[in-house]
Amino acid sequence: MNEPRHGGAEPDVAASPLIRMRDIRKVYDTGKIQVEALRDVALDVASGEFLAVVGPSGSGKSTLMNLIGCLDTPTAGSYELRGESVAGMNRAQLAEIRNRRIGFVFQSFNLIPQISTYENVEMPLLFGRVARRRRRERVEEVLARVGLADRMEHKPTELSGGQMQRAAIARALAMRPDILLADEPTGNLDSTSGGDIMDLFAQLWEQGHTMIVITHDTALSRRTSRRIELHDGRITSDLRNGA
């Protein structure tokens, strides 16, 4: 597990990108009609980047997120994650990759309501077969980082929206993944809580995390280091903020 290195440093894209996608195509076959959700997508993301993916509904943002997050595999094209080809992996291998390399943050939090915040955050560590003592340390550490050290025993339903999203971020950080992948993380939050989450994201980036955020939120996308825009399944612009 590599420790976060330098916050917000200049990415070295050419050397060895964390994510390397080429000629990615994703077609959903509903039986009657085929929907081409992504076409000819090429994307490199370097370690330490803070990438915003923006675009109108139906532009393929969620599909791209599912592919990056190894929740789905492309119909065609190649995807390498830290030099490892993901495209041909089976479900068990993909599960392993998700567990070790990706930390998910969802719009609707996706916490399991029946169990405590602690247990929710512990879950990926259980799947990753981390020893009990290490788990305890990690859970306490990440909950402290998101400011929920005093809410460990609360169930998600006893937390506010902002707290729930912070619990979800703690869960995403627990396995020390290569990438933090967030889908509309502020979409279900009021502006104050949303602002808190944005601050937390910026902070995590400064600590060296690689972040990819899919968002409609222009306030959030303005704070990232890079911003790509999708239209009809294609990348139509790729801008580096401050560049």
What residue ranges bind another protein (CB under 8 A)?
Answer: 66, 69, 71-72, 91-92, 95-96, 98-100, 104, 106, 110, 112, 114-115, 119, 122-124, 126-129, 132, 135, 171, 175
Rounded least distance, CB 66 to another protein, Å: 5
Rounded least distance, CB 108 to another protein, Å: 8
- In the bound state with another protein, the residue whose beta carbon lies nearer, of 72 and 232, is 72
**DSSP codes of every residue in the chain:** -PPP--TTPPP-TTT--SEEEEEEEEEEE-SS-EEEEEEEEEEEE-TT-EEEEE--TTSSHHHHHHHHTTSS--SEEEEEETTEE-TT--HHHHHHHHHHHEEEE-TT----TTS-HHHHHHHHHHHTT--HHHHHHHHHHHHHHTT-GGGTTS-GGGS-HHHHHHHHHHHHHTT--SEEEEESTTTTS-HHHHHHHHHHHHHHHHTT-EEEEE-S-HHHHTTSSEEEEEETTEEEEEEETT-
The rounded distance, in Å, linking the Cα atoms of 241 and 243 is 5
Q: Are 20 and 44 in contact (CB under 8 A)?
A: yes
- In the bound state with another protein, the residue whose beta carbon lies nearer, of 73 and 78, is 73
Give the bridge partners for 183, in sequence order: 214
- In the bound state with another protein, the residue whose beta carbon lies nearer, of 63 and 193, is 63
- In the bound state with another protein, the residue whose beta carbon lies nearer, of 69 and 194, is 69
- In the bound state with another protein, the residue whose beta carbon lies nearer, of 34 and 108, is 108
- In the bound state with another protein, the residue whose beta carbon lies nearer, of 52 and 168, is 168
- In the bound state with another protein, the residue whose beta carbon lies nearer, of 46 and 159, is 159
Quote the tokens at residue 159: 């937390």
Rounded least distance, CB 64 to another protein, Å: 12
Rounded least distance, CB 115 to another protein, Å: 7
Q: Are 29 and 190 in contact (CB under 8 A)?
A: no
Rounded least distance, CB 91 to another protein, Å: 5
Rounded least distance, CB 105 to another protein, Å: 11
Rounded least distance, CB 78 to another protein, Å: 21
